[in-house]
């Protein structure tokens, strides 16, 4: 049985073009997404104040407060709200700026309705996966794997011989993110967001560096890792049985 319409993911679609708002409302609504079609950032903020929104589709070119300013406000209010920007074909600078401000994806106008739907579904799946991992992280007191133990409250890692192993803040947060989702491939973007849940100063380009450093501390042979395995083109996977202590 399909879920009732009020249980569908709630999409806020912000565009000052009435025809595009109608297209988004009708097409996405026909594909089990609940859509609030809005014409401005003010309408979006009013909606967010009274309802839960799962994803925002946001046009860059809006009257008054533009999409880039709105994206910045959304990201300051929520580190996890998925944002998909709509941009004109010639607006490469806006696309780059939007991603730097925290947008998760973008689509150029004119766009395919099917591609928009596919991108929205992909962002919703990623957000759901990150939420489940974040919940597991928040409920865990410690993790054990291959004789190692990471105590979260004490921020202490012990090797199989019981010896302490020093970790930087970034390494500690990255290891928690990996241990919270064993044998699940996590993209660099997911690792970045999950690491930031522990207030670590981890940046996109440093994820690979942090992985290399962490491998040197926990792998028997860092050049042939058995714990933190690279998934080419996708991210990293923690390939071990992990016991969660709650």
The answer to whether residues 144 and 239 belong to one domain is yes
Residue 183 pLDDT level (bands cut at 50, 70, 90): very high
Give the ranges where the chain is alpha helix by DSSP (H).
18-29, 41-50, 67-77, 92-100, 113-139, 169-179, 188-196, 207-218
Q: Tell whether 185 and 91 lie within a shared domain.
A: no
Could you tell me the CATH number of the domain that includes residue 44? 3.40.50.2300
Task: Write the CB contacts of 224 (distance below 8 Å, at least 6 apart in sequence).
Answer: none
- 9-39 pLDDT, tens digit per residue, is 999 999 999 999 999 999 999 999 999 999 9
DSSP conformational letter for 186: B
Q: Are residues 21 and 100 in the same domain?
A: yes
Q: Domain ends where: 76, 104, 131?
A: 131
Number of domains, the chain? 2
Within this chain, do residues 30 and 102 fall inside the same structural domain, yes or no?
yes
Domain extent at residue 92: 5-131
Average pLDDT, the chain: 86
DSSP state of 226: S
Answer yes or no: do 68 and 180 share one domain: no
In a shared domain, residues 169 and 239:
yes
Name the helix (H) or strand (E) containing 23: helix 18-29
pLDDT at position 205 is 56
How far apart are alpha carbons 239 and 218 in whole angstroms? 13
209-228 in b/e form (b: 16+ CB < 10 A) is: ebbebbbeebeeeeeebebb
Task: Note whether 161 and 197 are same-domain residues.
Answer: yes
Half-sphere exposure of 201 (CA within 13 A, CB side): 1
Strands (E), 19-104: 34-38, 55-59, 83-88
Q: For residue 139, what pLDDT is reported?
A: 75
Output the six-digit token pair for 220: 């028997």
Tally the residues of the chain: 246
Higher pLDDT, 57 or 192: 57
Name the token pair of 115: 């591609």
Question: What average pLDDT does the segment 222-246 reach?
Answer: 93
Asked if 18 and 127 sit in the same domain, the reply is yes
Task: Give percent of the chain above pLDDT 90.
Answer: 50
Per residue in 116-137, pLDDT (tens digit) is 999 999 899 888 777 766 666 6
Dist CA 6 CA 10 (whole Å)? 8
Q: Is the CB of residue 32 less than 8 Å from the CB of residue 2?
A: yes
Handedness of CA 234, 238, 242, 245 (dihedral sign): negative
Same domain, 20 and 123: yes
Task: Please tell me whether residues 11 and 127 are part of one structural domain.
Answer: yes
Residues paired with residue 157 on neighbouring β-strands, in sequence order? 150, 165
Given 82, 101, 131, the domain boundary residue is 131
More reliable by pLDDT, 102 or 176: 176
Phi-psi region for residue 64, left (φ > 0), alpha (ψ -120 to 50) or beta?
A: left
Clarify whether residues 219 and 236 are in a common domain: yes
The domain boundary residue, chosen from 131, 156, 171: 131
Which value, in Å, is the radius of gyration of the alpha carbons in the chain? Answer: 21
CATH number for the domain spanning 164: value is 1.10.10.10
Looking at the fold, whether 120 and 41 belong to one and the same domain comes out as yes
């Amino acid at each position: 049985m399909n879920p009732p319409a009020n249980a569908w993911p709630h999409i806020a679609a912000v565009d000052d073009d009435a025809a595009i708002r109608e297209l988004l409302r009708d097409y996405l609504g026909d594909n089990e997404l609940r859509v609030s079609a809005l014409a401005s950032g003010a309408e979006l903020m009013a909606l967010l104040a009274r309802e839960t929104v799962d994803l925002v589709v946001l046009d860059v070119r809006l009257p008054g407060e533009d999409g880039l300013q709105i994206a910045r406000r959304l990201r300051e209010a929520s580190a996890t709200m998925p944002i998909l920007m709509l941009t004109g074909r010639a607006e490469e600078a806006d696309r780059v700026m939007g991603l730097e401000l925290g947008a998760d994806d973008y689509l150029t106008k004119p766009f395919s309705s099917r591609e928009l739907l596919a991108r929205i579904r992909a962002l919703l799946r990623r957000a759901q996966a990150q939420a489940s991992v974040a919940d597991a992280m928040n409920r865990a007191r410690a993790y054990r794997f291959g004789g190692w133990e990471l105590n979260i409250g004490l921020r202490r890692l012990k090797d199989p011989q019981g010896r302490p192993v020093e970790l930087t803040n970034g390494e500690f947060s990255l290891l928690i993110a990996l241990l919270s989702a064993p044998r699940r491939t996590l993209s660099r973007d997911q690792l970045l967001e999950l690491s930031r849940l522990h207030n670590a100063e981890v940046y996109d380009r440093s994820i690979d560096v942090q992985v290399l450093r962490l491998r040197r501390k926990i792998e028997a042979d860092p050049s042939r890792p058995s714990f933190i395995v690279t998934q080419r083109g996708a991210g990293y996977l923690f390939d071990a049985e992990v016991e969660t202590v709650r």
